[in-house]
Structure 1
Amino acid sequence: MEFGLTQEQQMVVDTVREFVEKELYPHEAIVEAKGHVPAEITRDIRQKVLDMGFYAANIPEQFGGGGLDHVTMTLLERELGRASQALSVIFGRPSNILCGCTGEQVEKYLNPAIRGEKIDCIALTEPDAGSDVRSMKASAIKDGDDWIINGTKHFITHADEADFAIVFIATGEEETSRGPKKRITCFLIDRDTPGFEIRDGYQCVSHRGYNNSILNFDNCRVSSAQILGEEGCGFDEANTWLGATRLTVAALAVGRAQRCFDMAVEWAAERKQFGQAIGKFQGVSFKLADMATEIQAAEYMTLGAAWKLDQGLPADQDIAMAKLYATEMLGRVTDETLQIFGGMGLMSELPIERFWRDARVERIWDGTSEIQRHIISRGLLRPLGA
């Protein structure tokens, strides 16, 4: 694995970092105060990303996207991680699962998403189905060439801005060697479909402005033409196209930790107590040393997993390790940074308390730390028949 960046990768890093600092940082206080991103700011950011040619950089070239490889995309996500999640999401990375679109779906959903004309969201989690997604209760019954959907999804981020939802629904059961198993199907459902309601979700302490929503389906009728992939094969589509989403979380965590750490170092060098910079005290300097070590370790793990994906090598275990370590590292770094800042770290005049709050959700969404440990340990034990 090459540790140096190519000229293209360095250009991506430099361009995105400059964009984040110039176009996203100035709006963070507004988002924190309002609890949402004003529409005019969203339009401005999206258009600037489109003008730069970076919109849909994650989508393969054959589908009309930027076609960045996993390592380069991970570097891009790392830079976006420095900014507020509510603002960085506007940078435009449509869900890769849309690459599974066929026929009329391509021009109705995939192409508009790549052009920035339509926004998608993914709806999987339910009140009684979090990590155990097979226990979902939202279901669809076939009626001729249509499906009648009933049920609820929650914790659906970005649904408040979405033009359509990528929704996973149970469409029956099938017998397996381990007993009955629900057939999960992926549907593309437009926002204005009768019987489909998107309403405000819960107040969350993490990522203010990046809101979650509740999706209700009440006898919502959709055509079979809106199935993404094949009936009962929703997880196959997800595994084909969404495998790297946890890697994205890891990369964002590394970027956010680095920004937080940079502020901690600067504060430790400038803040004076007992006649000297607090960074000269071992209690602070050792914290900085540990933080720097952990951030670098998380970054190498994340880039290593991305490299494996680019080489076509099995990477599930590596991605789980990266997501687990990077998100838990972020929690430690934000907490130690707050400690270094002391009482000022908890004041809203500085972004430290926001970093601290925002870090907590990373160990939960896209698979909890416990789920990542399950994936890792399963990979260790299965070859031994355990």
Structure 2
Amino acid sequence: MEFALTDEQRMIVETTRAFVEAELLPHEAAVERTGHLPMELVAGIQKKAMAAGLYAANMPQEVGGAGLDTLTWLLYERELGRASYALHWTCVARPSNILLAGTPEQRERYLMPCIRGETWDCLAMTEPDAGSDLRGMRATARRDGGDWVLDGTKHFISHADIAGFTITFMATGEEETPRGKRKRITAFFVDKGTPGFTIRPGYRSVSHRGYTNAILEFDGCRIPDANVLGEVHKGFDVANEWLGATRLQVAATSLGRAERALALALGWAAERRQFGQRIGKFQGVSFKLADMATELKAAELLTLWAGWKADQGTVTDSDMAMAKLKATEVLAMIADEAIQIHGGMGLMEELPLERIWRDARIERIWEGTSEIQRHIISRALLRPLGG
């Protein structure tokens, strides 16, 4: 592995960081205060992101994206991660890679409008009684002539309020396995406005203000067979093939926020004076900084290593799980320690630390909890030994 960045990678990092500082950070305080992201603000930043070549940069060049390799994409995500999630995701959207699994007709109908900034996509898997246990989902889809009829409820569905459509996963039958019956899952495109499909406001979260979640209700929602994404009963195959990298995305954006928190802590330790000297001179503070920097470097290396392996075609689920686990837990530690170094000031809204601290909590839950990541890693370790 070559640790030095290429000229192109350095340019992308510098361009993205400059964009974040000029176009996103100035709006953070207003979004945090109101919990609302005005769509006129989004439209203005979108245009600037497109002009800078940063919009839909995760997409291949043949569909209008930047065609970044995985490692470069993670460097880009790390820089975007320094900003409020609502701002960087909505204004500099990265359409879900799962849209690439669609037919040519589905790509034209669903993917291309997302790349052009005309709409957003959203994924609907989680249910009130099926979070990490996706095989336990109760929402169903049944055939009726040449159509499918969808029934059930999904919740915690990110940004469904602004998405033009959802990719929803439904149980479409059962199969016998050595461990008993398992539900078969199929993925469907469902357009906003389809009869029987209702989007209701979700829950108020302490993390990522302005980045909304919604409850989706399907009540006799009829859609054509052409709206199946991938093969019938093969929804998990589609998800596993196309969504694994989202864990690396969470890891990379966590690195960006952790870097920002560490920089704030370093600046405070170098300037704040107590008992006649700068507090960075006290071991109680300086050792915290050393541990924060060391853990951040370890998380960075795990994340970029997994990205490099993805580009070589050798990445494993365990590699991505390690990166997501380490980066999200390091973010939590650094955010907490940065506040400790700042003392009471760290909890005040005048600094972004209290936001980073609150936002960090969700990262260990979504895209697979820390416990799920540990399960993936331990299973990979034990399987070769018959465990």
TM-score, length-scaled by structure 2 = 0.98
The aligned counterpart of 1:135 is 136
Aligned to 2:177: 176
Secondary structure in 2 matching 1:197 = strand
* Structure 1 position 160, deviation (Å): 1.5
> 1:166 matched to which residue of 2?
167
Residue 118 of structure 1 deviates from its aligned partner by: 2.0
Q: Which 10-residue stretch deviates more, 123-132 or 45-54?
A: 45-54
2:258 aligns with 257
Provide the rounded CA distance (Å) in 1 between the counterparts of 2:241 and 2:60.
13
**How many residue pairs were aligned?**
386
- The Cα of 1:214 is off from its aligned counterpart by 0.6
Tell whether the 8 Å contact from 2:306 to 2:315 is kept in structure 1 after alignment: no
Matched residues in 2 for 1:61 and 1:137: separation? 38
Name stretches of at least 5 consecutive residues in structure 2 with no aligned partner.
none
Match of 2:85 in 1: 85
Instruction: Write the distance in 1 (CA, Å) between the matches of 2:136 and 2:12.
Output: 41
| Distance in 1, Cα, partners of 2:256 & 2:376 | 24
Contact residue 119 and residue 162 of structure 2 kept, 8 A: no
Following superposition, the deviation at residue 110 of structure 1 comes to 1.4
TM-score of the pair, normalised by structure 1: 0.98
**Which one-letter code corresponds to 2:196 in the other structure?**
G
CA distance in 2, matches of 1:3, 1:221: 52
Deviation at 1:282, TM superposition (A): 0.7
CA distance in structure 2 between the partners assigned to 1:270 and 1:378 by the alignment? 47
In 2, distance between residues paired with 1:57 and 1:347? 35
The answer to whether the 8 Å contact 1:247/1:306 transfers is yes
Aligned equivalents of 1:26, 1:167: Cα separation in 2: 35
Q: 1:62: Cα distance to partner?
A: 3.5
For 1:195-214, what aligned pairs fall within 5 Å after superposition? 195-214=196-215
Q: Match of 1:300?
A: 301
Task: For 2:351 and 2:115, locate their aligned partners in 1 and report how far apart those are by CA, in whole Å.
Answer: 36
In the other structure, the counterpart of 1:186 is: 187
TM-superposition CA deviations, 1:47-86 (whole Å, max 9, x none): 1111122221111233332210000000000001100000
Aligned with 1:348: secondary structure? coil
Residue in 1 that maps onto 2:69: 69
Find out whether 1:5 has 2:13 as its counterpart. no
1:123 to partner: Cα distance: 0.7
| Distance in 2 separating the partners of 1:129 and 1:142 | 23
What CA distance in whole angstroms lies between the structure 2 residues aligned with 1:111 and 1:350? 39
Partner SS state of residue 149, structure 1 = strand
* SS of alignment partner, residue 22 of structure 1: helix
Secondary structure of the residue that 1:161 maps to in structure 2?
A: coil
Which residue matches 1:48? 48
State the partner residue of 1:355.
Answer: 356
CA RMSD of aligned residues (A): 0.9
- Give, in angstroms, the shift of residue 355 of structure 1: 0.9
Calculate percent identity across the aligned residue pairs.
Answer: 65
CA contact (8 A) 2:174 2:181 kept: yes
For residues 315-339 of structure 1, what are the alpha-carbon distances to aligned partners after superposition, in whole Å with 9 as ceiling and x for unaligned? 2111100100110101100000000
Q: Deviations over 1:173-214 (max 9, x none)?
A: 122232221111111111111111111111111111111111
